[in-house]
Amino acid sequence: MRATSHTAITASPCCSLRYHARGHRPEIVTTSLKTYTLLLFVVCTVSCREKTAPPTRSPEIVLELDDAVRTVAIERAIPLALLVSAPPAQWIDVRAEAKDGRWLEVPTPTTTYPDGELRLYLDHERVAIGVFVGERPLAALSPITRVRVSTRVVTSTPVALAITVRGREHLWNGGAREAPLRDVIGTQDVREVRVVGDTEITLATIDNAILKMNQRGEYVLRVWDNGREHPTREVRRVTKIVVE
């Protein structure tokens, strides 16, 4: 009997062996180390990207309750009452502000909208606020950057309001009552009126302008342009009115 010799076949890690049927000699198929390295790099890169992708940050707003100020992140629709420690029955005034100067103000919400709910929600990934009765808001503002909830009336003496009418100056002491601007300046005959406060505006007519004192003891001027239902312009912390 003839001795049958066996040949051991080995391969390096960068090679693979492919055997053929019927005793054919094995075919050694080589794969370059460069190919394996490239494949490993692609797999690792994709895996690392999936693991290290930063989480999406929820939009934030500044929330004030009287003198307490904090920043809150809004992830989904949520009643404002869940973010404020004081119950809604104690809210005297709620004011939301946008970066471009727009605002939404709701005095005594439980009285103004007894069946409504002030709710924060996301509008195109930005925070909005609305007064909801059911699923649709009666009034809304989007996007907002700040919400201020007041629960107490400021009893401090308000800042004096200086009114100059064609060079003659006097101080306004109308208290907390709301008054048409024509009554404040004492005339309807005006060419222009400049109102100075946290911002400054010039009015060519005063027919639809109202001056009032807010809960913080600040004078606020509001203007309804073109018969609008809601105020279109506002100046807070008014300290000077100049009439020409």
How many structural domains is the chain composed of?
3
The last residue of one of the domains, among 150, 174, 203, is 150
Q: Same structural domain for residues 167 and 237? A: yes
- Mean local confidence (pLDDT), 167-172: 86
Q: Which domain, by its residues, includes 219?
A: 161-243
Q: Same structural domain for residues 68 and 133? A: yes
Going by pLDDT thresholds of 50, 70 and 90, the confidence category of residue 22 is: very low
pLDDT reported for residue 107: 86
pLDDT reported for residue 34: 55
> Is residue 64 in a domain?
yes
Rounded distance between C-alpha atoms, residue 78 and residue 118, angstroms: 9
pLDDT reported for residue 157: 60
Burial of 93-125, coded b for 16+ CB within 10 Å and e otherwise, reads: bbbbbbeeeebbbbeebeeebeebbbbbbbeee
> Is residue 104 in a domain?
yes
> Is residue 6 in a domain?
no
Q: Measured over all CA atoms, what is the biggest interatomic distance in the chain, rounded to whole angstroms?
A: 134
Residue 193 has pLDDT above 90, yes or no: yes
Q: What percent of the chain has pLDDT over 90?
A: 36
Give pTM, 2 decimals.
0.58
Q: Backbone dihedral region of 34: left (phi > 0), alpha (psi from -120 to 50 degrees) or beta? A: alpha
Per residue in 124-145, pLDDT tens? 999 999 999 988 899 899 999 9
Q: Same structural domain for residues 127 and 184? A: no
Sheet holding 68-73, edge to edge: 68-73, 60-65, 146-150, 93-97, 103-107
Q: Same structural domain for residues 145 and 97? A: yes
